[in-house]
Amino acid sequence: MLRISELVNSDASLISRRCWTDQAVYDLEVRGIFGRAWLFLGHESQIRRAGDFVQAYMCETPIILSRGADLRIHANINSCSHRGLPVCRADHGNTRRFICPYHNWSYTVEGELSTIPQENALAGKPDKSKLGLKRVPRLESWRGLIFGSFDPDIIPLEEYLGDMRFYLDAFLGRFPAGIEFMGAPHRWVLDANWKLPVENQLGDVNHGAFLHSAIIPREAQDLIEELGYSVVTRPGHGATFRLMPVDAPVDEVAWGMEGMGGMFGGAEVQEYLRDVQANAAERVGPLRARMKGLTYGVYPNLSFLWSNASFKVSHPRGPGKVEYWSWAVVPADAPDAVKRVLRTNYSSFFGPGGILEQEDSEVWVQQFKGSNIDFADDRPYFYGLGLGEEAPHPQLPGLVSVTANEFYARQFFSRWRDELQAVESGV
Amino acid sequence: MSATASPVQQRALEAFYYREARLLDNRQYRQWLELVSEDIRYLLPARVNVQVDNRQRGEEHMISVERELEGADSMGCPIREETYMHLMLRVERAYKINSWSENPPARTRRIVGNVELMARGGDELSVLSNFHLHYARPGGDSFLYSGQRRDLLLENAGDFRLRRREVILDYADISLPTLGLLF
Ligand code: FES
Ligand SMILES: [Fe+2]
């Protein structure tokens, strides 16, 4: 029997291959991490009107996220109380009832059981108030981002996010009406472990110069690394970004300008982006106005790619499979034509057809193969780059370092280890 | 809107698509790019599982393919919406030593068929075709891509240039290694 303490050493500079492949480890992850964390479900812009719904997942558990007739947000497990079928099959939509195909039990959009067709023929009437869909016990949102948790006693979402809010707000707070998600997520399935996409988006900026060198010129990457910071606000939560010089021209700082849409999408788009940047200091303060983000991660499996405007979730499907979701995000107040251009900042390079992300998808799959081989268990992966070189910073919350320092990954794995050990020992 | 192709024209269209398929499968991507007009729009709509609308019961539209597509005009997010510049990036990438997801290079073979002229307006032809594309990856994996291409071709002295292509891929869940191929 594997013990978690043998998989990650004390400073998390050595990570066992079994962390990525072992079924027993995965079972602990499901209970010890996904059963206890705040998990990202969606954005409020996806369910604006009463009756709107979208599908979501909490680990492998299918969730319906909906806006009730009361305009409140609801999250329920998508599984009928009668025999367990999913009661909702569409990716998104608007409805008053979810009707189960098998025997047509129907549920309200809030998740209450509404009718049991068979009961008319029977004397006994089941208590419907106890037979609704199973509710996600905790549901909270912050700045439009909706999270759920299976742990009824979890700390409030804002406390969980902690100082990560400082960095998230540098983006979310930049736009007068916040952001919105465009359309259904792109979802694709890879033979990889869920943690590698997470690690990649948590702080692995420096692979750009190598894995992506067919597309990203060395000089561009050098500039990124020169101005780049990597921070960890709490193990598992982190951000990387550039802090642009105070006198940098607006076009070099403004979010969106460096994407294909921003560069080639026309004058209206560029004017919009310059306008946002012109008001950024007022909205998020002078320091964060100079921030030009790269990657973000919120423990355990939410990522945000600032430079290519997308939110991503890495949904586990067992140790060796992941369903990766990503959405294009755009400023909510932008004209429709501008939104349609800005979404290409994401899709040009990322997503299942992305010129850059096809490379990432490939290495995530190859890493899982490498983790699975025999006769290499005595060679854990080396996570020691930059060990101990991170430090607090006078202006930036969290531990701060250069982007080459892999402390973001060590911090992730020390939290991961501690949480799995807690469930392993029955805490 | 409808148009019938003469036998000569039908043969010319098919010959164009066969040549295009050969160039792509032979990895002669630069030559392929010469078949493309510089104002091209290359689109791959996202395909979603939509809610059945009760009010459309019994109607053809209830199960139409169109309802499932998040294309360029929608407020959803197409998987690809590219210009000539994107295609140039993809083409040139193929000849670099560090295009890792195609290392070894993409082994593809496609069969193009069901070529159908749908409409003609001036020198612009609207043409549909279907494809099956087999893609072999190292490690024993191989994949079948199936789809329809909705093209706008520019006709010039018996030859064609691709001005718009919309690729309707027949996927429900994407378990293909990349949708970044040239279809
Ligand atoms: S399984 Fe849902 S109604 Fe019977
Ligand atoms: Fe990458």
Kindly report which listed range (A5-14, A373-382, B135-144) carries the lowest average pLDDT score. B135-144
Residue position matching structure tokens 């569409």: A90
User: Which of the listed residues A89, A103, A107 should we mutate to test ligand 1's pocket, taking the one with most ligand atoms within 8 A of CB?
Assistant: A103
Q: How far apart are CA A327 and CA A347, in angstroms?
A: 9
C-alpha–C-alpha distance, residues A406 and A408, integer Å: 5
B15-48 residue pLDDT tens: 999 999 999 999 999 999 999 999 999 999 999 9
Which residues line ligand 1 at a C-beta cut-off of 6 Å?
A 80, 82-83, 85, 100, 102-103, 105
pLDDT at B152 over 80: yes
Question: Six-digit token pair at A69?
Answer: 């007739």
Per-residue pLDDT, averaged over A61-88, amounts to 98
Q: Do A386 and A206 contact (CB within 8 A), yes or no? A: no
pTM above 0.95, yes or no: yes
**Closest of B75, B86, B181 to residue A265, by C-alpha:** B86
- Domain range holding B68? 7-169
Split into its structural domains, chain B has a count of 1
Test B175 with A188 for CB contact under 8 angstroms. Answer: yes
Burial A42-62 (b: 16+ CB within 10 A, else e): bbbbbbeeebbbbbbbbbebe
Which residue type occupies A344? Answer: T
**pLDDT (mean) for A282-299:** 98
Average pLDDT rounded to a whole number, residues A317-331? 98
Around Cβ A34, how many Cβ atoms within 10 Å? 21
Which residue has 């992730």 as its token pair?
A412
pLDDT of A134 above 90: yes
B56 in reach of chain A (CB within 8 A): no
Is B43 domain-assigned? yes
Task: Looking at the CA of residue A80, tell me the nearest atom of ligand 1.
Answer: 2
Which residue, among B44, B101, B183, would best test binding to A if mutated, counting the most A CBs under 10 Å from its CB?
Answer: B101
What does the pLDDT look like over A22-72, one tens digit per residue? 999 999 999 999 999 999 999 999 999 999 999 999 999 999 999 999 999
- The domain locations on chain A are 4-37+162-424, 39-140
Question: H/E element holding A92?
Answer: strand A92-94
- Confidence band, pLDDT 50/70/90 cuts, at residue B2: low
Contact A201, A296 (CB under 8 A): yes
Of the candidates A293, A182, A199, which has an alpha carbon nearest to the alpha carbon of residue A239? A293
Q: How far is B176 from chain A (nearest CA, A)?
A: 8
DSSP A135: B
Q: Domain spanning A4-37+162-424 has what CATH number? A: 3.90.380.10
pLDDT of residue A333 exceeding 90, the answer is yes
Q: pLDDT tens digit string along B95-131?
A: 999 898 888 898 999 999 999 999 999 999 999 999 9
**DSSP string of chain B?**
------HHHHHHHHHHHHHHHHHHHTT-HHHHHTTEEEEEEEEE-EE--PPP-GGGTTSGGGG-SGGGEE-TTSSS--SEEE-HHHHHHHHHHTTSTT-GGGSSPPEEEEEEEEEEEEEEETTEEEEEEEEEEEEE-TTS-EEEEEEEEEEEEEEETTEEEEEEEEEEE--SSB-SS-S-S--
Percent share of chain A, pLDDT over 90 = 96
Top mutation candidate among A80, A89, A98, A115 for ligand 1, by most atoms within 8 Å of CB: A80
Which ligand is in closest contact with the Cα of A115? 1
In the block, residue with structure tokens 């164009």 = B16
User: Which alpha helices (DSSP H) does A192-332 contain, by range?
Assistant: 195-203, 208-211, 218-227, 250-253, 260-264, 267-278, 280-289
Q: What is the mean pLDDT of residues A123-136?
A: 96
* Nearest ligand to residue A308 Cα: 2
User: How many Å apart are CA B78 and CA B168, to the nearest integer?
Assistant: 11
* Positive/negative CA dihedral, A397, A403, A409, A410: negative
Residue A115 DSSP class:
E
> Can you tell me the distance from the alpha carbon of B64 to that of B140, in angstroms, rounded to the nearest whole number?
36
Question: Which letter, b or e, does each residue of B77-107 get, where b requires 16 or more Cβ atoms within 10 Å of its Cβ?
Answer: bbbbbbbeebbbbbbebbeeeebbbbeeebe
pLDDT band of B3, cuts 50, 70, 90: confident
Q: What is the pLDDT of residues A196-242, one digit of tens each?
A: 999 999 999 999 999 999 999 889 899 899 999 999 999 999 999 99
Distant-in-sequence, close-in-space partners of A228: CB < 8 Å, separation ≥ 6: A205, A240, A241, A242, A294, A402, A403
Preceding peptide of B104 cis, ω within 30° = yes
- In one-letter notation, the amino acid at residue A141 is S
Tell whether the model's pLDDT for residue B1 goes beyond 50.
no
Return the CATH number at B31.
3.10.450.50
- Looking at CA atoms only, how far is residue A423 from chain B in angstroms? 33
E strand or H helix that includes residue A41: strand A39-43
| CA A312/CA A91 separation, integer angstroms | 16
The DSSP 8-state label assigned to residue A154 in this structure reads P
Of A416, A46, A400, the C-alpha closest to A241 is: A400
Q: What letter represents residue A147's amino acid? A: F
Q: For A146-199, write each residue's pLDDT tens digit.
A: 999 999 999 999 999 999 999 999 999 999 999 999 999 999 999 999 999 999
d(CA B146, CA B169) in angstroms, rounded, equals 6
pLDDT digits (tens, 9 = 90+) for B49-79: 999 888 899 999 999 999 999 999 999 999 9
Whether B128 is in a domain gets the answer: yes
CA A212 remoteness from chain centre: 22
Q: CATH number for the A39-140 domain, one of 3.40.50.720, 3.30.70.1450, 3.30.70.420, 2.102.10.10?
A: 2.102.10.10
State residue A130's pLDDT score. Answer: 97
Short-list A175, A233, A156, A234, CA closest to A397:
A233
* CA A61 to chain CA centroid, nearest Å: 16
pLDDT of amino acid A289: 98
Find which of A64, A218, A312, A359 to mutate to test the B interface (most B CBs within 10 Å of its CB). Answer: A359
| CA nearest to A199, candidates A322, A300, A308, A293 | A300
Whether A9 shows a pLDDT value over 80: the answer reads yes
Min Cα distance B98 → chain A (Å) is 6
**Is there a shared CATH topology between the A4-37+162-424 domain and the A39-140 domain?**
no
Ligand nearest to the CA of A85: 1
Asked if A118 and A125 touch (Cβ cutoff 8 Å), the reply is no
Name the average pLDDT for chain A: 96
Q: What is the residue type of B178?
A: T
SS3 A15: strand
Return the sign of the alpha-carbon dihedral for residues B120, B123, B126, B128: positive
> Which helix H or strand E contains A74, and what residues bound it?
strand A73-77
Examine the pLDDT at A256 and tell me if it is beyond 60.
yes
Q: What is the pLDDT of residue B156?
A: 87
Q: How far is A420 from chain B (nearest CA, A)?
A: 30
- Counting from 1 in the atom list of ligand 1, the atom nearest the Cα of A83 is 1
Q: Do A353 and B51 touch (CB under 8 A)?
A: no
